[in-house]
Amino acid sequence: MFGLLKKVIKFSKRLLAGEDIQSKTSGRFPAKRKQRKKGKPKRRKTEARPKRKSKKKIVRNKKKRHSRPKVKSHSVKKAKAVKPAGIQKRLVKVADVTHFFPNVNAAAVKLAKPLSVGDFVLFKGETTDFRQKIQSLQISRIPVDTGRKGEEVGIEVKERVRAGDEVFIVK
């Protein structure tokens, strides 16, 4: 701190005396450099290099992606599976799936109507569609024969179900 203060005092004395400061300054106070503008760095000009003899260039063909015209095939129409008439009338919504436990293949279901062991049910959702007979019905890990409206029960299922799937009873 004091060393810098001494230099400033010495410099101000020279100024007052009228000495030519520019010529007397040593390398300690170099002249300000021009600051470059920010952006791309300037490239240095280089001498022209002699061109090398180029070897054969490998030209790669770019694959052109054309859409092929679709050809209609004259295939035989497959017969649609005939469903028994009135199957929709025999389905009654019983519950909604609230959770699925993959390690034990069980679904937590919120009942809207009573359900019991031995009933034949249909699980229906966006990606789910299968039927099965209820073999295991539990409430809080305790096996029961029937579940009443409003209860949340666990059902052992044979396939994966998802939250939001609907459960219908087939009569």
pLDDT along the chain (171 residues), means of 10: 76 76 55 62 64 59 58 57 58 95 95 95 94 94 94 95 95 82
Task: Tell me the domain boundaries of the chain.
Answer: 88-170
User: What is the per-residue pLDDT for 17?
Assistant: 76
User: What is the per-residue pLDDT for 122?
Assistant: 95
Q: What is the pLDDT of residues 58-70, one digit of tens each?
A: 555 555 555 555 5
Phi, psi of 16 (to 5 degrees): -65, -35
Question: Does domain 88-170 fall into CATH 2.40.30.10?
Answer: yes
pTM, two decimals, is 0.49
User: What is the per-residue pLDDT for 103?
Assistant: 95
Closest to 165 in 3D by CA, of 68, 60, 70, 94: 94
Tell me which DSSP letter residue 88 carries. G
User: What is the per-residue pLDDT for 43?
Assistant: 64
Give just the sign of the alpha carbon dihedral 30, 34, 36, 37. Answer: positive
How far out from the chain centre does Cα 62 lie? 32
Burial of 108 (0-12, 13-18, 19+ CB in 10 A): middle
Say if strands 106-111 and 142-143 run parallel, antiparallel, or are unpaired. unpaired
User: What is the per-residue pLDDT for 13?
Assistant: 81
- What residues contact residue 106 under an 8 Å CB cut-off, 6+ apart? 100, 154, 155, 156, 157
* Structural tokens at position 63: 């694959």
* Structural tokens at position 22: 């520019």
